Each structure stands twice: as C-alpha cells, then as structure tokens.
Amino acid sequence: MALWGGRFEKDMDQIVKEFNASIGFDQRMYNEDIDGSIAHVTMLAAQGIVTEEESRQIIDGLEKIREKIRSGEIVFTVEDEDIHMGIESRLIEEIGEVGKKLHTARSRNDQCQVDGRLYLKEQIRTIVAELIELEEVILRKAEQYAEAITVGFTHIQHAQPITVGFVFMAYFQMFRRDIERLTDTYERMDLCPLGACALAGTTFPTDRARTAELLGFRAPTENAMDSVSDRDYAIEFLSDASISMTHISRWAEEFAWWNTSEFSYIAIDDSFCTGSSIMPQKKNPDMAELLRGKSGRVYGDLMQMLTVLKGTPLAYNKDFQEDKEGLFDAVDTWKACIRIFAKMLDKTEFRMDQIEKQLSKGFLNATDVAEHLAMEGIPFREAHNIVGHMVKACEERGCQLEELDEESLQAIDPRLSREALGDISIPACVSARKSFGGTAPDEVRRQIRVGKNWLETLKD
C-alpha cells in the first residue's frame, strides 16, 4: 500500500498504477526534491517542530539516498508513483520511523511545485548562458562581414542592398529579446511555494521565508491556493522557448535558401550537412532543416500545457501531473537547438563572389535614387514616380539605373541628369545609410559595440 493508503482497503490495480505514475519522467528532478526536503526539515527544526537530532538524521538519510540515485543503486519503478514518494519511502527504509516526520507541514502539491521551480530556475540559467554564447558567435560574424554587401529582401524579392553584418545584428536583437524574456520569467517565478501544503497552509508554526531563503528564492509565494495551482511560470517559459525557436527557425529557413544552387550565398561546413543515399552529388542542409522542424515540437509543448490548464478549477488537480513531460521536452529541445545552431553558424562562410553576382539584379539602389532626388528638393512622391519610370526604362533597355544616359534621363524628367543623380553605386548606397539602426558599415559596427557592452553586463 502506498504512503497515502490509510483511507483505502484495496491497493491500486496494476494498470491504474502504471497510468497514475509519474516516476518515469519526474525522477529527473530528484536533486531538486532532495534539496527541497533538506530545506524543509531544516526549517522544521529551527521552528521546534522536529528536533535538531531528527533533522540531522533526516538530512543524512537524504544525502545517502541522493548518492545512491546518482550511482544507480536506486532504480525507481511504478510502485514508487512519483519522485516525492520514491524518495520518502526510501528515507523511511534508510533511517526508520523518524523518516516519517519529513512530510510534516507540507504536501506533494507544494512539493512538486518547488521541485518544478527549482528545476526551471537552473535550466533558465543554463539556457541564458547558451544564448549568450550564440550571441557571441553572431557578434564575431557581424564583425567579419560588417562591410560585406548582400541583397536585402522584402516579400522574397530583391529590395535594397545591405551588409551581411547587418543581417547578423538583426538576429542579435531577436536573441537579445529572448534573453530578456527569460530574465523576466525568472524574476516572476523566483518565489517559493513550499509550505503552502495542500491548498490552505498549515496549523504548524512554520517559517516559509526561511525555507525560501534556504532554497535561494527571493521570497515565499503569497497565497497558498494559488501556489499549488499556478503553472504560469511553466507557460511563460514555454512561450519564451516557442518565440526563441521561431527566431531559430526563421534563420534556419534562410540558411536552407542560401544553401541552394539558385542562391549559393553560403558554404555550410560539411560537418553540419548530410548526403543522399541515391544522389552522390547532394550536400543537404539537414541541420538547418531539422532546426526549422524542431520549432513545431516546442510549439506543441506550449499548446499541450495551455490545454491541460484551461479547464482546471482551484486548487490542485491530477491534470497537473501532465505539466512535466512537455516542459522537459522543451528544455531539452531548445538547449540542443541553440547549441547546434551556434556551432553551425560559426562554421558557415558567406560566398561573397556568388552574392556579388546578384547585386545587379532587382534595381537594389532604386530607393536610394528616390531619396537622393528628394534631398535635391523634389517631393518624395514625385521622386518615387520618377524612379519608377527610370526602372521601366532600364527594363526596356536591359541596363542598370546608373547606366541610363543623359538623353534617356531628360526624356523621363527634365530635372534628371547624371550630375544630379550623383554616386548611386551599390557600395555608395550602403555607406550612405547611416541613420541610427541602419546598414552602413559604421552603423553596424556601432550596433556591434552596443551588443558587446550589453553582453558584458550579463556577465557581471
């Protein structure tokens, strides 16, 4: 009979035990569970609820169990039901009757919550560190390609000339927001639910602030009922993960394009590609494609959590057992994707000779010509229309904007001349875009400096 079985005359049916058990997945939180128990019994002793000797015996017993789990001596089964019961039952076996006092003034309801928060806090710290490493790779690449000119797209059409470093810094901002979101989530979840018990607190004279302090939380949670039923922190984390995976997926999509024969913009290192079982010439960007595909998995984890919670009344419900597997999956998937993407990015080079061939397509300098005319006093809407006629003329003649002769320009608009247009070469257009946040190399370097300074603040 389970530790909770006093009310029952029959043991659970075996198929129910298997269906009911969470030990198969929540055992990965055994360290957090033991840490929570040690903090709890330390507080109980300080409050005189158990004796110092009883507390010492319990803590010694828990540390022995931790080591046995770590070494593989303890193997959990469905008979354990969950990690909380699995550890407590072995504690009683290890130290006897005194082990039964550990569960005084707490419930599995608050226990699973403190385990989850401790686990996720540690994972957030790890993921932030992984994202910082990715950002450092991005900054290195942005510096390398700060002056390298490529095609900027809108609607998957050639739009304006930009630098490759500018592209890297665009993604730098996305991952910066990912870090900031995670930091916000961490701050909101940094409250200790231990001591909330089943839903209404306890009659024992506990000190929840002390327990929170021992476990590294900034404070205890405010309301016991909310404490055991809240999973907002898990939803926030999964939302953070989903948004970040969107960023990874978007860039992976571009990698897949850039790697095609039609683009040939990049050379991905062989170690991040695979071949074909039938076509010997193939070099497939499988890691980019897999990164793109993994986003759907993390989105699913978020939707699963939202769906589990949407119809649950206060306070605790067994539905909440389904909060862990998706969370664990998202943690593992997100971390793996950040690591693999950072390494792939670091080992990818841009084929500037191939990109240069594309710069003459699509009239990339058209907007710059319109802006130049506007600076010369022609209202922008008129300038826009004039350049539209210039593009049409170029299409008919099979030439570039800078190749239109004086006669052709005058035919379009008497105010046009080679001298009036000035330098409208692609490099000149890129260098001129010095507005704050623009693509000019000097501005990209400023963005890189700001990015480096921000990363340094995270390491302090």
- Position 20 scores a pLDDT of 84
pLDDT category of residue 6 using cuts at 50, 70 and 90 = low
Q: What mean pLDDT do residues 347-371 have? A: 95
Give residue 7's pLDDT band: very low, low, confident or very high (50, 70, 90): low
Average pLDDT, integer, range 280-292: 91
Q: φ, ψ for residue 289 (rounded to 5)?
A: -65, -40
Confidence of residue 1 (pLDDT cuts 50, 70, 90): very low
Distance, in Å, from the CA atom of 165 to the CA atom of 115, rounded to the nearest integer, reads 43
pLDDT at 68: 98
Spatial separation of the C-alpha atoms in residues 134 and 252, rounded to whole Å: 14
Residue 136 and residue 126: Cα distance in Å, rounded?
16
pTM comes to 0.93
Judged against a pLDDT cut of 80, whether residue 220 lies above it is answered with yes
247 given a catalytic annotation:
no
Give the per-residue pLDDT at 36.
98
Q: Give the pLDDT mean for 304-321.
A: 95
Looking at residue 459, its pLDDT comes to 83
Structure tokens of 52? Answer: 């110092």
Catalytic residue among 22, 40, 55, 155: 155
Query: Which residues fall within 8 angstroms of residue 203, CB to CB, at 6 or more apart?
Result: none
Q: Please compute the mean of the pLDDT values over residues 111-122 and round it to a whole number.
A: 98
Residues in the chain, how many?
Answer: 460
Integer CA distances (angstroms), 319 to 29, 70, 225, in order: 19, 29, 16
Q: Does residue 315 have a cis peptide bond before it, meaning omega lies within 30 degrees of 0?
A: yes
Tokens of 36: 């929570």
Tens digits of per-residue pLDDT, 169-213? 999 999 999 999 999 999 999 999 999 999 999 999 999 999 999
CA distance 442 to 147: 9
The percent helix, strand, coil of the chain (3-state, each to 5) is: 65, 5, 30
Per-chain mean pLDDT for the chain: 95
Segment 92-105 mean pLDDT: 98
Q: Does 276 participate in catalysis according to the annotation?
A: yes
Give me the residue label for tokens 């409250």.
191
Q: Mean per-residue pLDDT for 67-77?
A: 97
Confidence of residue 18 (pLDDT cuts 50, 70, 90): confident
From CA 185, how far away is CA 195, in angstroms rounded? 22
**Residue found under tokens 């379009």:** 412
Q: Which of 344, 336, 166, 163 is nearest to 267 (CA)?
A: 344
Taking the CA atoms of the chain, what radius of gyration do you get in angstroms? 31
pLDDT higher than threshold 50 for residue 227: yes
- pLDDT the model gives residue 9: 61
How high is the pLDDT of residue 421? 87
Task: Locate 103 and state its tokens.
Answer: 């569960």
What confidence tier does 157 reach under pLDDT thresholds 50, 70, 90? very high
- Please report the domains of the chain, with CATH numbers, ordered by start residue: 5-104 (1.10.275.10), 112-208+216-356 (1.20.200.10), 366-424 (1.10.40.30)
CB atoms within 10 A of CB 261: 5
CA dihedral of 79, 85, 88, 89, whole degrees rounded to 10: -20
Query: 37, 244, 247, 276: which one is catalytic?
Result: 276
pLDDT, residue 311, reads: 93
pLDDT single digits (tens) 260-277: 999 999 999 999 888 888
Q: Which helix (H) or strand (E) holds 165?
A: helix 164-189
Counting residues of the chain whose pLDDT is more than 90, the rounded percentage is: 90
Average pLDDT over residues 344-360: 96
